[in-house]
Structure 1
């Protein structure tokens, strides 16, 4: 079996599984690279290594500057003399002989328009003859571009390998678009949670502060600082994650403001295990649950009530619960809320937190809610203490520093 046929077979075997398991498989192979003795094992390792390097530069799309850096890895992957990659606009990035550019542009346009692979032989470029194989990079919504490989001659193995690589490139680009969509959705959900800080709350907080200005100026000053801390934290612009400690600090500011308004009608119990304070959680994941308990659980209950906030250490997990003895939620309404149905603006925070937890940690980490009309509400969340599985965790500012 020729080397190009061997590479083509390796690429075909990887296919879509490469997009999901590439990193873990590569680490495993690297760890045992001393035992890769056969030609097939060496070819598989080399294919994985080059594909991994190329993937890093394809997630932003082949119309971005980073895609040009992927060309040299794709050329090595295919073992061809020169390689060109074109985006939707026809712009070409080349690794190899620059004299192939006019031919590559023509072939790229042809395969994108026809959605079919093409092979051309005995092409005259730079005073010599060569062959070329061009394959469209087809996404789910249409052509994304094309790749054109040059070799003298183009054999069947290179034709197959070029088609497989074009499909793999399309998968990488679409995975990058999916990641970007998820990031945009997460940002939109955080914006929705910030928007939930209603003018009603701001008006009530400022009213409470004003009521102390003449009677207790010291208390008024403290409440102004709490209000500043709460709004600064809620509207900060850096990072999608925070710690349990930071989230609880914001909750403390929020509850101080609400107690200034409710007085003895709002009672709070905290049961916090120190071990869980450094645990990383999605930004605004606990505070909206506390706000929901106050606004929808206790505000309309005669005589007020109690909120109990618990953060417990449970081995590899932090278990956080917010319980109130307020008016409760109709289970049918709650089911509609968590399913994404219309809720007239009520309990939006609960739904957004549930969605974000599932996105970051998986469906098994969604909120658990126990409630009924007149029976209060208990909301539980469980997060791995090891942190989120996907995003990078930012550094966190302490105290009252600027956001």
Structure 2
């Protein structure tokens, strides 16, 4: 029992003892039981309400985090309404500049941070023009206009914060400009200055430089994250284009040969195969974005396998085990089909008796994941061959290994770009027994 709780218990026990002594011993005749209990309840209530106990928490007591005593730091508030660092941090969590240095993002950011910095006006610029201006002076510091103030060019050129204590130092060409002091901090992505954060006041005391510097650092961090997102998406786009271009030309030639041979013996089946081949390439080329419903990818895989079954006949058998809940989830495009194609090419094609490909998909609503398994009972692979496939496309590999493994390598890189470390991609193979690929991704 904690000290505060034990002390309170002792006080309450003493209070009840006192009530009993007064109502039952000192008073003659003694009060009845109901009166004694009522008096005890009243005294206990007064004690609890007047005692800063563990039942309601001591006033201004420090809290505990992770076993360490922690007390919120009290920062002096600027008389002009500057808020404390916790509020600035909270604003930073939803900073619009996370989407890049655009006019709309700059405007919403300026409106959000203006109350936090104690300035009368806040502006955000890139290296050439004003992207946002909130407060006095907006009539001539127009959005879309060029940089009018001298201090902006100084901050951009030197890459450091500039503080101006007099109106003349601002360098605004408008004679009636109400702005008298300014703090201008550069916004940077790495070592590259991409803009400025300006905080103006209409009186002779400038805004606190440390707050402006801290806010500029926070905005720069968000701009760096936005740049990383853009580069990651560009890389993912390039890998998706590579997968589209990688569709095996031998597959196309083999299917066309199959269609040509069937055109003489079964024209109707030949026509159906041509329609499926058209559907296959239409989906592969025209699919927009990086995600699609599983049902669409499932149709794409079934179309591919139906074409391969027309070529391999009874040597290629397929089993589907799909949870209906998976059909509406969203999965990365062109991920399942290359896994199935590898199973056909490296597992079944070289097996004299052929084999079975098994596609299984499940949703785990508790773990919020989608699990996909592609397995075959074909010839399997040695660890050396599997390593070459997983390293496909890397320098120094034979051309055959590069071509056959680029699918798996590309898939792994795309999953990294799309999910970071929030996915698993496992490949296991045993010579003579087959190969299994397990993919687990976040539920979307």
TM bin (shorter chain)? 0.7 to 0.9
Deviations 1:12-64 (A, max 9, x none): x5xxxxxxxxxxxxxxxxxxxxxxxxxxxxxx2xx4675566x22552225x5
Q: 1:174 to 1:319 in 2, by over 3 A?
A: same
Residue equivalent to 2:267:
217
Is the CA contact (8 Å cut-off) linking 1:130 and 1:152 kept in structure 2?
yes
Is the CA contact (8 Å cut-off) linking 1:51 and 1:77 kept in structure 2?
no
Is the CA contact (8 Å cut-off) linking 1:58 and 1:67 kept in structure 2?
no
| Residue 334 (1) aligns with residue 334 (2) | no
371-380 or 124-133: which moved more?
124-133
Match of 1:310 among 349, 357, 360: 360
Residue equivalent to 2:440:
382
Residue equivalent to 1:365:
423
3-state SS of paired residue (1:176): helix
Q: How far did 1:353 drift? A: 2.3
Residue equivalent to 1:83:
122
Is the CA contact (8 Å cut-off) linking 1:307 and 1:323 kept in structure 2?
yes
- Which consecutive unaligned segments of at least 5 residues does structure 2 have? 1-75, 169-174, 396-400
- Structure number with larger C-alpha Rg: 2
Q: How far did 1:118 drift? A: 1.5
TM-score using structure 2 length: 0.71
Match of 1:131 among 159, 181, 186: 181
CA distance in structure 1 between the partners assigned to 2:362 and 2:178 by the alignment: 73
Q: How far did 1:380 drift? A: 0.9
CA distance in structure 1 between the partners assigned to 2:356 and 2:111 by the alignment: 64
| Residue 61 (1) aligns with residue 111 (2) | no
CA distance in structure 2 between the partners assigned to 1:364 and 1:250 by the alignment: 25
Q: How far did 1:166 drift? A: 1.1
Q: 1:178 to 1:211 in 2, by over 3 A?
A: same
3-state SS of paired residue (1:214): helix
Deviations 1:359-392 (A, max 9, x none): 43442522111114444211111234x41xxxxx
Residue equivalent to 1:171:
221
Deviations 1:279-298 (A, max 9, x none): 22111121110011112222
Residue equivalent to 2:409:
351
3-state SS of paired residue (1:352): helix
- How many residues matched? 350
Residue equivalent to 2:59:
none
Is the CA contact (8 Å cut-off) linking 1:355 and 1:366 kept in structure 2?
no
**Equivalent residues in 2 for 1:89-238 (5 A)?**
89-91=128-130, 93-96=132-135, 97-98=137-138, 101=141, 105-124=149-168, 126=176, 130-153=180-203, 155=205, 158-238=208-288
Residue equivalent to 1:20:
none
CA distance in structure 1 between the partners assigned to 2:328 and 2:192 by the alignment: 46
3-state SS of paired residue (1:75): helix
3-state SS of paired residue (2:167): strand
Quote the RMSD (CA, aligned, Å). 2.9
Q: How far did 1:200 drift? A: 1.5
**Equivalent residues in 2 for 1:287-302 (5 A)?**
287-302=337-352
Residue equivalent to 2:61:
none
CA distance in structure 2 between the partners assigned to 1:300 and 1:155 by the alignment: 81
Q: 1:4 to 1:365 in 2, by over 3 A?
A: farther
- Which consecutive unaligned segments of at least 5 residues does structure 1 have? 14-43, 388-403
3-state SS of paired residue (2:378): coil
Tell me: higher relative CO, structure 1 or 2? Use CA pairs within 8 A at least 6 residues apart.
1
Residue equivalent to 1:41:
none
Q: How far did 1:231 drift? A: 1.2
Residue equivalent to 1:320:
372
Match of 1:7 among 82, 87, 101: 82
Q: 1:303 to 1:130 in 2, by over 3 A?
A: same
TM-score using structure 1 length: 0.77
Q: How far did 1:98 drift? A: 4.0
